[in-house]
Amino acid sequence: MKKTPIELLAPARDAATGRAAILHGADAVYIGADRFGARAAAGNSMQDIEELCRFAHLYHARVYLALNTLLGDHELEAVRSLVEESWNAGVDAIIFQDMALLQMDLPPIALHASTQMHNVEPDHIAFLESAGVSRVVLARELDLRDIGRIGRQTGVELEVFVHGALCVSYSGRCWMSLALGGRSANRGVCGQPCRLPWRLVDERGGEICRDRHLLSLKDLDRSGSLPALLDAGVTSFKIEGRLKDMAYVKNITAFYRQKLDRALEARDDLCPASHGRCAYTFMPDPAKTFHRGGTEYGLSGDRQPIWNMDTPKALGERVAVLEGMEGGLLILREKADVAPGDGLCFLDRKGRLQGLKANRCEGKKIWPSPGALTGLASVDVAGSSLYRNHDVRFRKLLDKEKSSTRKLPVAVRFKEDRDGFLLEMKDLASGCTARAYALLERVSASNPDAAVAGIRRQLEKLGDTPFVAEDIRVDTDSWLIRASELNGLRRKITADLMALRVKAFHRSFRRTPSDGFKAMKYPHGELDASFNVLNRMAGTFYEKHGAKVLSMGYENGGLHGGDCVMITLHCLRYALGACPRHHGSGSYENWRMEGKERVFTLVFDCVACRMRILLA
């Protein structure tokens, strides 16, 4: 039975992080070029991307280029050229947002529709499939029933986010950063106003709260639902974080590799999408790298607390409860495993985040860094949970260059014929076989068993290569063979086998559009600014499929009072216990969210359980 490959997809800020992700278990990585990616601060040269592709393809892992920004007319030719460069460099797919790419004359590279394309409705996804899109990155807001329904109605590959920071808005439908400072998220320069503190007032102007991070969400963590997502038809599990550091990528990738492998072991019809087995020098734990607290974000269809309005920063793992302060020291209610150098934090009684470094730890006492607790009294800290957001011992393990190994199993055979000796190495995952023949001096061994054991020892020395010998056969008479000669043969054959594996890797190709696609209608007949049309080529594409562009995207036409800058599942009425539908209290009138420079009107769609944020 042919098995369906299942992919763990990790972020790569740069080529070094991409290599680390692969060595820690990623089946694929996504990376940005030096332009046109949704993370402008995470760009890379094409030379670095090409080197990453060669490394990834050795393990039959893949590299995707994030080209998921909206494009101006003057940029289209540069984008087409970049896609061609990417194809020549070995990139396996382009993650795109702008429909102009479906109009371009591109090389046969696979296209993945970014979550910023608002991939929510089955008919929209079916349209993209008919256009030749190989994969659709689903909106984070979809629950298991939605995902299953899309999986049953389309044949396109489905990718979902399973871990990392959450956009509070439906992806691709957020213009708050553009409204506040002219920094467009759709152009890769989001200012993250959703993490800022705001003042909230009701319809009469009464203050509900102030200086709270009203739109700040917890981080996504769907590690407990991987089997259910597999059942729903998901084939790619994506970790967010192209701006995250290498320690985060190592830890989270290893954690999900172990989780996903256990889920795949229970299925006869599924297998990992790449080759190799990983071994780690640390115990993966998501709480020990950047972590705002976890949420499945409505995956089960139920409403759960998804927000963290106290702070947009990472609290980390809870390690103790504070009893109070004594002589400038923190006193714990119970002894905690805290080490000097650990970064600690807690929320004081006013809800303010207090951070410190542990200089010394002894029993239930912690000596903080000088000046860290200035102005605080014992009553301010008593009863607060103490969190560790920097584990110095864990970080040292992650900072090691070889915090993981990824090995490809091989079978090795050494045999002789009338003239010389043949060394053969077969890769058990791909079936590739490399052979090396040598005319070696034959010297009879006085101890045949020891001679054979010596040959085996030399042949199994594969430590610096990606291979590990699972089976070694030595079929010779009792000859003494110099270790240097065996080592030379082994080095040659491993280099040849690596080259064969890369050559045997099958790249993905763009799907051919369906026969009736030219006459296919786009599901929406009229497109307003929320459809993000910024260039004539994208407009022409829509018009060819029966849709009329009523207005260009906000990046071209600007925002005006009353324009909707965000739609979100995060409802402040619900979060604050004032939802008429769920709590039986409060009214259906609008609220206002006030910042230093802008005021936004909050409109509550209680039928759909969503909140709309309008520029006031």
Count other Cβ atoms within 10 Å, centred on residue 11.
27
Cα 179 from Cα 168, distance rounded (Å): 16
Average pLDDT on 502-507 reads 95
Cα 564 from Cα 616, distance rounded (Å): 9
- The answer to whether residue 348 scores a pLDDT higher than 70 is yes
CB contact set of 365 (below 8 Å; sequence gap of 6+): 326, 329, 330, 331, 332
Q: What is the pLDDT of residues 242-276, one digit of tens each?
A: 999 999 999 999 999 999 999 999 999 999 999 99
Assigned token pair, 463:
């430590």
* Identity at 12, one-letter amino acid code: A
446 pLDDT band, cuts 50/70/90, is confident
334 pLDDT band, cuts 50/70/90, is very high
Average pLDDT taken over every residue of the chain: 94
Higher pLDDT among residues 79 and 596, named by residue: 79
CA atoms within 13 A on the CB side of 255: 22
614: nearest Cα among 557, 576, 552, 568 = 568
Strands (E), 40-193: 62-67, 93-96, 110-113, 135-137, 157-164
Calculate what percentage of the chain has a pLDDT beyond 90.
83
Its sign, for the CA torsion 459, 462, 465, 470, is positive
**Residue 253, pLDDT score:** 98
Average pLDDT on 517-540 reads 96
The domain 4-166+218-275 having CATH identifier 3.30.1130.10: the answer here is no
| pTM, entire model | 0.95
Higher pLDDT among residues 84 and 416, named by residue: 84
**Residue 40, pLDDT score:** 67
Q: Distance of CA 597 to CAs 179, 181, 408, 559, 615, Å?
A: 10, 9, 56, 15, 12
The residues that bridge with 112 in the sheet, in sequence order, are 95, 135
The residues that bridge with 473 in the sheet, in sequence order, are 413
Average pLDDT on 88-94 reads 98
The H or E element containing residue 280 is: strand 277-280
Q: What is the pLDDT of residues 118-153, one digit of tens each?
A: 999 999 999 999 999 999 999 999 999 999 999 999
Cα 376 from Cα 381, distance rounded (Å): 8
Q: What is the pLDDT of residues 399-419, one digit of tens each?
A: 999 999 999 999 999 998 877
**Residue 302, pLDDT score:** 84
Average pLDDT on 289-299 reads 93
User: Do 229 and 246 meet the contact criterion of CB atoms below 8 Å apart?
Assistant: no
343: nearest Cα among 393, 275, 304 = 393
Assigned token pair, 345:
């934090």
- The answer to whether residue 580 scores a pLDDT higher than 90 is no
Count other Cβ atoms within 10 Å, centred on residue 128.
21
Task: Delimit the domains of the chain by residue range.
Answer: 4-166+218-275, 315-399, 407-504
Domains 4-166+218-275 and 315-399 share a fold: no
CB contact set of 310 (below 8 Å; sequence gap of 6+): 212, 213, 347, 351, 353
Q: Which residues of 393-412 are buried (b: 16+ CB within 10 A; e: fewer)?
A: ebbebbeeeebbbbbbbbeb
**Residue 38, pLDDT score:** 62
Q: Which residues of 570-581 are buried (b: 16+ CB within 10 A; e: fewer)?
A: bbbbbbbebbee
Q: What is the pLDDT of residues 585-603, one digit of tens each?
A: 767 789 999 998 899 999 9
- The answer to whether residue 286 scores a pLDDT higher than 90 is yes
Count other Cβ atoms within 10 Å, centred on residue 31.
28
The domain 315-399 having CATH identifier 2.60.40: the answer here is no
CB contact set of 496 (below 8 Å; sequence gap of 6+): 434, 436
Q: What SS3 class is residue 513?
A: coil
Cα 162 from Cα 452, distance rounded (Å): 50
- Look-up of token digits 């298991």: 144
224 pLDDT band, cuts 50/70/90, is very high
**Residue 193, pLDDT score:** 93
Assigned token pair, 7:
């992919």
- The answer to whether residue 478 scores a pLDDT higher than 80 is no
- Look-up of token digits 């990046």: 555
Question: For 286, which DSSP code?
Answer: G
Q: What SS3 class is residue 301?
A: coil
479 pLDDT band, cuts 50/70/90, is confident
User: Do 100 and 66 meet the contact criterion of CB atoms below 8 Å apart?
Assistant: no
Average pLDDT on 53-77 reads 97
- The answer to whether residue 485 scores a pLDDT higher than 90 is no
Calculate what percentage of the chain has a pLDDT beyond 70.
99
Cα 263 from Cα 224, distance rounded (Å): 10
Radius of gyration in angstroms for the set of CA atoms belonging to the chain, rounded to a whole number: 28
Average pLDDT on 229-242 reads 97
304 pLDDT band, cuts 50/70/90, is confident
DSSP 216-266: PBPEEE-GGGHHHHHHHT--EEEE--TTS-HHHHHHHHHHHHHHHHHHHHT
